[in-house]
Structure 1
Amino acid sequence: MIKVSVLYPNLQNLVFDKEYYINKHMPLVSNLLAQALKNVQVDFGIAGGSSDEAPKYIVMTHMSFESIEAFQNIFGIHSEELLSDIPNFTNCQPELQISKIKI
């Protein structure tokens, strides 16, 4: 099992529409990736290492898939539609990390 984390850095002059992300983008993601998507979780950053420190990422979305190939296959089919929606909710490019789930 792998986890794909989509990380939106908390940059200066960042614009991020959390309502659009939750109510429109994530349902789109869930619908398009449904065949391979095992689990999804969205985290909104509220603090960094201490409560008075800004979070490094304003939003972190974690999606589980059976394998890298399962993710790449389904994302490849729908990448254009998913990526073209990004400007509807933010002005930053997300970072992507793929991790192996051990526990």
Structure 2
Amino acid sequence: MSVSLQVLYPVSEGTTFDYDYYLSTHMEMVGTVMGAHISQTLVTKGLAGGPETPPGFYAIASMVFADQAALDAALSVAGPVLEDIPKFTNTQPQMLIGQVCS
């Protein structure tokens, strides 16, 4: 059964996020380091939290894996990806690992 890993970058006072670096350098690194284990990747840039409401997240990266073993393999080599986070943001990322239902 497919599983997903979502990395959410919350907006809070005093935090910053460099979209150019994230999209061009960091996500390329994700592909290089972890890509052999990833079935699909989607990055969503936060625009709004609703009508006339600012976004609660700078971005959300969603990665789908064929199964738990593929996710575990990707996480086992993710060190360089995790170490790169301070180069584009000072927010504390949140992660959600889940079962893909549809």
Fold similarity call, TM over 0.5: yes
1:28 matches 2:29: yes
The residue number in structure 1 matching 2:47 is: 46
State how far apart, in whole Å, the 1-side matches of 2:13 and 2:67 are.
35
The residue number in structure 1 matching 2:57 is: 57
Q: For 1:72-91, list aligned pairs within 5 A.
A: 72-77=72-77, 79-91=78-90
**What TM-score results when the alignment is normalised by the length of structure 2?**
0.92
CA RMSD of aligned residues (A): 1.0
| Number of equivalenced pairs | 101
The residue number in structure 1 matching 2:101 is: 102
- Secondary structure of 2:31's partner? helix
Unaligned runs of 5+ in 1: none
> How far did residue 68 of structure 1 move?
2.3
State how far apart, in whole Å, the 1-side matches of 2:84 and 2:21 are.
10
State how far apart, in whole Å, the 2-side matches of 1:69 and 1:55 are.
33
> How far did residue 59 of structure 1 move?
0.4
* Deviation >3 Å, runs of 4+: none
Sequence identity (%):
30
**What TM-score results when the alignment is normalised by the length of structure 1?**
0.91
Paired letter, 2:84: D
